[in-house]
Chain A
């Protein structure tokens, strides 16, 4: 059966930038990301006849991209994770309660947190980094992320919540280092560590 070339491009190319961002999040290297995107689209073209008409090409392309990445890199890290995301949600909130006590309740109004968040995201270990990118930055649902990663939804929740928790911890440490945390007597620290 001949491939409908026009249909392929009209369905897949609108997602090119999103796929490229995802590829960059996986490879963390621009040249490698470009190669991965090319590989993704080549595989997608070859598998176009298997794509279900009327389906959403975006998660389909993300899945191909991730699988291509795994095949190309053959790199897997052993890790231990809980299937219970609540276990990570709870300490994150407790961390915020402590931060409020330290005077960081209005953290977002006090400093520009984006540089710290960017660094924190870049430093997230796999597989937490990928899940955060898929859900929080690329707006995939838990279900879509689970399908892309071929893991249960509970695993997506767990990884996502742990990633957020790690970012929050980094953020709070960043604020404290910037001298925004209050001492026990309620006064701001006199000797901020960060410049």
Chain B
């Protein structure tokens, strides 16, 4: 069991930091510790794959802003007016 994963050891410690791990927001030793745990634990590995896919699916939801060209024209007109009246 990697020493960097704190008590309680094993799966629970890895699961607690899983989202930070996927965001690569852990310190290097903790990243390595989770890597090592996932390499030897099929259940946690499956969890990591699932959570990573979930985050990817959420990110894929980003929708284009319909008719942003019209909005840009509106903003440009507003900026022109604002510059005219700028003190």
Contact = CB atoms under 8 A, between A and B. Distances in A.
Interface of A: 3, 5, 8-9, 13, 16-17, 20-21, 24, 30, 34, 37-38, 41-42, 45-46, 85-86, 89-90, 92-94, 96-97, 100, 105, 107-108, 113-114, 117-118, 121, 132, 136-139, 142, 157, 160-161, 164, 167-168, 171
Contact of B72 (A16, A85, A89): A16
Contacts of B62: 21, 137-138
A45 B79 contact: yes
B52 to A, nearest CB: 11
Contact of B63 (A8, A21, A86): A21
Given A16-B68, A86-B16, A3 B60 contact: no
A7 B39 CA distance: 50
A114 B51 contact: no
A21 B59 CA distance: 13
Contact of A34 (B46, B71, B79): B71
Interface string B63-87: 1111010011011101100110010
Contact of B51 (A34, A96, A139): A96
B70 to A, nearest CB: 9
A-B pairs with lowest CB-CB distance, top 9:
A93-B15, A20-B65, A86-B16, A137-B62, A17-B68, A136-B58, A17-B65, A89-B19, A41-B75
Interface size class of B (residues with CB under 8 A): 35 or more
Contacts of B17: 86, 89
Contacts of A161: 19
B36 interface: no
User: Taking each of B25, B60, B75, B82, which has the highest tally of chain A beta carbons within 10 Å of its own beta carbon?
Assistant: B75
Contacts of A46: 82
A167 B16 contact: no
Nearest to B77: A38
Contacts of B55: 136, 164
A121 B63 CA distance: 12
Contacts of A117: 57-58, 61
